Every structure is written in structure tokens, then in C-alpha cells.
């Protein structure tokens, strides 16, 4: 969204809240550090190695979605026009910020889980007992790897709130979260599909299906809000 439009539309809007202003006034070292961190992850993602992969990318997208939700909630707090939803926005902001931190950590956790899974395939399998232990380890590691991207989808719960003047950012937050759920879903399914006993993942698949159903419903609602409140 154009910074000038924001400045003229937002009720009692503080110049320091304009993204461009904060970016250009921030210390160069901090800005560089943030950019380098994001670029470093993209470089790792593009490398011809198994990790980080789709699960980590899902977590990264979810973290950005949660970050946008936190931003929109922050732009709503303290505005007279939105006094009635002040408490709600305070709560949304806390949840979104916590979720952003959790999902950022999940970027590394997903890669770690996959590496554990790969390690279990190297366990000995000469005796029936070893085969049994190996299969159990593979099943557990697979479920662990599948659980983390499933957790990413919780970003959807924070994507439907925000100041009307920042509604496109709220929708962008939802879009990132929805993408995270889609990517996470494929990782969940492929991990469970690799299990010998696929029934072990039935509960997780059921949870995923419910989350996707809720996401589809929420997307329809948000599109209506975008049209009615945002004129888009």
C-alpha cells in the first residue's frame, strides 16, 4: 500500500508507523541484519540439499503471515475509531507475535525432524528386533516431522482481524498463512504416506482435513470482508 495513502486515510496516524519511514529511520545495521537473515534462509532453501525443504518454507510463510497480522493489530490499537475492539486487537497482537516466534523456530525444527527421520533409516536391520526398533523409530520420526508443519497452520486463526485502512495487509497475512497450510499439508501427507502402518497418522490427517475445511470457510468470509470494507 502506498505510504501517502496510508497517511491521509488512517485516523490519527503517526508518521512513525509508516513502514517506509520506519525502514529508512532504522539503524542500517539492524536493517542489514534482518535482510541478511532472510536472504540466508532463501539461499539455504535453494541449495541442492534435503533440508531446509517444504516444511521449513511452510513455517517461514506462516511466520510472515503472523508478522503481518501482528502489524495490522498494532495499527489498530490506540485509534479512537477502533476503541471498541481495542482489547481484542491487544489479544490478537500477543497471539500473533508469539506465533511468529514459534513459527520462526519451526523453520529449524522442521529441518531437524527430517534429519532425525533420515538417521533412522540407517539403523541396523539384521534381526527381527532391530527391524522392529527401526520401524518404530521411523514411524515416530515421521510423525514428529509431520507434526511441525501441521502446527504452522495455526497462523490462520490470527488472519481475519485488522484496521480497515490496512485491510490489504490483513489479507496478505491470511494469504501467507493459507499458503503455509497448503505447503504443510503436502508435507504431512507425504510423511504419513511413507509409514508402513499408515493408521498411525489417521488422527493427524483428520486434523489436517478439518483445518483445510476451516481455511476454505475463512477464505470465503475474508473475501466478503475485502469486498464490503475494502472495496476490493
132-182 pLDDT tens trace: 776 776 666 566 566 556 555 644 554 556 688 888 898 898 899 899 889
Pick the range with the lowest mean pLDDT from 25-29, 38-42, 71-75, 222-226.
25-29
Q: At residue 8, does pLDDT exceed 60?
A: no
Burial of residue 224 (CB within 10 Å: 0-12, 13-18, 19+) is exposed
Give the model confidence (pLDDT) of 21-70 as tens digits: 443 344 444 444 555 666 788 898 999 988 888 888 888 998 898 899 99
**pLDDT score of 122:** 78
Cα torsion 59, 65, 68, 70: sign: negative
Compute the half-sphere exposure of residue 50: CA atoms within 13 Å on the CB side of its CA: 11
For 32, 34, 73, 145, 222, the CA distances from 23, given in Å and listed in that order, are: 11, 11, 19, 36, 29
φ and ψ at residue 176, rounded to 5 degrees: -65, -40
Asked if 164 contacts 155 with a C-beta cutoff of 8 angstroms, the reply is no
Per DSSP, helices labelled H in the chain are 3-9, 19-25, 28-46, 54-76, 86-120, 128-152, 167-193, 202-230
Counted domains in the chain:
1
Helix axes 202-230, 167-193, angle to 10 degrees: 160
* Rounded Cα gap, residues 208 and 150, in angstroms: 7
**pLDDT score of 203:** 84
Domain span at residue 103 reads 55-230
Mean per-residue pLDDT of the chain: 75
Where residue 80 falls among pLDDT bands split at 50, 70, 90?
very high
pTM: 0.73
**pLDDT score of 46:** 93
Is residue 2 included in any domain, yes or no? no
Looking at per-residue pLDDT, the higher value among 7 and 32 belongs to 32
Where residue 83 falls among pLDDT bands split at 50, 70, 90?
very high
CATH code of the domain in which 157 resides: 1.20.120.680
Helix axes 128-152, 54-76, angle to 10 degrees: 30
Is residue 82 included in any domain, yes or no? yes
Is residue 173 included in any domain, yes or no? yes
Amino acid at each position: 500500500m502506498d505510504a501517502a495513502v496510508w497517511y491521509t486515510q488512517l485516523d490519527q496516524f503517526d508518521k512513525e508507523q509508516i513502514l517506509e519511514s520506519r525502514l529508512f529511520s532504522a539503524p542500517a545495521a539492524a536493517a542489514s541484519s534482518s535482510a541478511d537473515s532472510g536472504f540466508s534462509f532463501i539461499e539455504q532453501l535453494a541449495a541442492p540439499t534435503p533440508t531446509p525443504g517444504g516444511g521449513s518454507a511452510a513455517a517461514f510463510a506462516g511466520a510472515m503471515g503472523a508478522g503481518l497480522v501482528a502489524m495490522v493489530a498494532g495499527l489498530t490499537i490506540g485509534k479512537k475509531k477502533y476503541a471498541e475492539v481495542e482489547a481484542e486487537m491487544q489479544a490478537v497482537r500477543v497471539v500473533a507475535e508469539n506465533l511468529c516466534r514459534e513459527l520462526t523456530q519451526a523453520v529449524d525444527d522442521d529441518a531437524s525432524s527430517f534429519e532425525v527421520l533420515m538417521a533412522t533409516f540407517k539403523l541396523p536391520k539384521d534381526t527381527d528386533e532391530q527391524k522392529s526398533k527401526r520401524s518404530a523409530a521411523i514411524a515416530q520420526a515421521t510423525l514428529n516431522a509431520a507434526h511441525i508443519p501441521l502446527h504452522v497452520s495455526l497462523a490462520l486463526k490470527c488472519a481475519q482481524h485488522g484496521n480497515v485502512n490496512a485491510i490489504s495487509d490483513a489479507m496478505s497475512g491470511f494469504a501467507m498463512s493459507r499458503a503455509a497450510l497448503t505447503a504443510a499439508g503436502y508435507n504431512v501427507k507425504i510423511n504419513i504416506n511413507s509409514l508402513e502402518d499408515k493408521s498411525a497418522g489417521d488422527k493427524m490427517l483428520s486434523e489436517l482435513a478439518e483445518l483445510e475445511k476451516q481455511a476454505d470457510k475463512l477464505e470465503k468470509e475474508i473475501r466478503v470482508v475485502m469486498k464490503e470494507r475494502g472495496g476490493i
